[in-house]
Amino acid sequence: MARPVGIGLIGFGTIGTGVVKVLARNGDVIAQRLGFPLKLVRISDLDTKTDRGVDLDGIRFDSDTPGLIADPDVDIVIELIGGYDVARKFTLDAIEHGKHVVTANKALLALHGKEIFDAALRKQVDVAFEASVGGGIPILRALREGLAANRIQQIYGILNGTTNFVLTQMESTGEAFDVVLKRAQELGYAETDPTFDVEGIDAAHKLSLLAAMAFGADLSFKQIPTEGIRSLIPLDFEMAEEFGYRIKLLGIAKSHISAEGETIEARVHPTMVPRSSLLASVDGAMNAIVVQGDAVGETFYYGAGAGELPTASAVVGDLMEVAREIRRQGAGRVSPLSYPQAALVRKPLVSLGDLVARCYLRFSALDRPGVLSLITGALGENGIGIESVIQKTRGEPGEAVPVVVLTHAGREAQVRTALEQIDRLPEVRRPTCLIRIEEHV
């Protein structure tokens, strides 16, 4: 067999350990499929003490990341340290040294993707990042190659395993968000600082990458209206069940083409999806993504969105693709974001106010005569039709009770105007919770 392609791994945490395991235990099939072996030559991490429980025989392991990047035996650098600044520096350094890069870091790419992809293009090296969206699901390859003949119309799905785990648990146990989050942290499903996950920021990072690949849209994750799952309470899940829905945190991106041109809709928020939909059956920490193309119609992809080995599966898959290119002395076979960098353009965004959807509204109102009519009146004045109103519990005098309203489809701007009026009422004690309903997912 030919000389192996040399790999250097920066960041020896959970995913890094998974990569070492996959390369060790599947090295034989990997070499068989490629026609040549991959060889992990170096690992760097600040923590060189902790035993990761893997055999490092023949692999140099120290904290010398610049040395790893400069090492002539390293052809591909795997960046798995996460975060923005240091990851950016090492990634750009590696590219500058003519190394190909494989990363799982969606935050890095969402924030510094343009700079990194431009540098890679200049240096004629590859940057591969299948692991950054959907964990082990080969969704980026599907978009970039399998579905490349399509005009992509919509892409949406469950992009964050932590929040899906929390939502599934809240639904099945009836427990409050804080209780479930704490358990998720204990079980290792949520980070000590869960902000990126529970606020929807991680999903927005991923959605910005997907929207670029789907529509050729240069879309910053900061432009994506993003709502997390903190404000959900157990009652919302009971009501969803009663109305025939389940609650999922979705990232949604759609392309709208009209005589005036193309506009892009992109948003991340808790969403009620019909119980019969494929997305509704995605439980626990799993991810799933729907891609609708003009030729292929609806396609659906499901798998583990995170975790040591599933993420390593994607990282090593990328290593194999890049290693093939190294052997063929090529790079840049497919543009990283499916369109050439220069073809990615800013496209007008649809404002959330222009969204037309049925809504679930949960008000916190005093149980007094006339309050319901004030609420329904404000909705009616703003042209929002009501499908049903449910008040589950009777309150003590002076105590707020939840009132749930399901609206007909209406423009969100009008719903918002009504909610502003309602939330100013003295009888309404907390900001109203709005959950959008997507019928066709």
Chain contacts with a second copy (rule: CB under 8 A):
18, 22, 25-26, 29-30, 32-33, 35, 130, 136-138, 141-142, 145-151, 216, 276, 278, 281, 288, 293-304, 307, 309-310, 312-317, 319-321, 324, 328, 330, 333-335, 338-340, 343
363 close to 231: Cβ distance less than 8 angstroms: no
Nearer to a second copy, 315 or 415 (CB): 315
Nearer to a second copy, 150 or 231 (CB): 150
Beta strands in 130-211 (DSSP E): 152-158
Nearer to a second copy, 159 or 415 (CB): 159
Nearest distance, CB of residue 297 and a second copy, angstroms? 5
Nearest distance, CB of residue 284 and a second copy, angstroms? 12
Q: Whole-angstrom Cα distance, residue 268 to residue 204?
A: 6
Amino acid present at 127: V
Size (the chain), residues: 441
CB contact burial 92-123 (16+ within 10 A = b; e otherwise)? bbbbebebbbbbbbbbbbbbbbeebbebbbeb
Contacts of 106 (CB under 8 A, 6+ apart): 129, 132, 133, 202, 205, 206, 209
Nearest distance, CB of residue 343 and a second copy, angstroms? 5
Q: Whole-angstrom Cα distance, residue 102 to residue 331?
A: 13
Rounded to 10°, the helix 201-215/106-123 angle is 40
Nearer to a second copy, 147 or 404 (CB): 147
Nearest distance, CB of residue 126 and a second copy, angstroms? 13
Nearest distance, CB of residue 203 and a second copy, angstroms? 20
Please identify which of the residues 106, 206, 248, 254 carries the catalytic annotation: 206
Nearer to a second copy, 33 or 89 (CB): 33
Nearer to a second copy, 26 or 263 (CB): 26
Nearest distance, CB of residue 335 and a second copy, angstroms? 7
Nearer to a second copy, 232 or 312 (CB): 312
Nearest distance, CB of residue 361 and a second copy, angstroms? 30
Contacts of 65 (CB under 8 A, 6+ apart): 10, 44, 90
In Å, how far are 167, 336, 367, 368, 393 from 374, measured between CA atoms? 32, 53, 12, 11, 19
Contacts of 4 (CB under 8 A, 6+ apart): 36, 37, 38, 39
Residue 17, classed as helix, strand or coil, is helix
| Residue 55, Ramachandran bin (φ over 0: left; ψ between -120 and 50: alpha; else beta) | beta
Task: Give yes or no: 206 in active site.
Answer: yes
DSSP code, position 345: B
Encoded tokens for 241 = 């069940």
Catalytic positions: 206
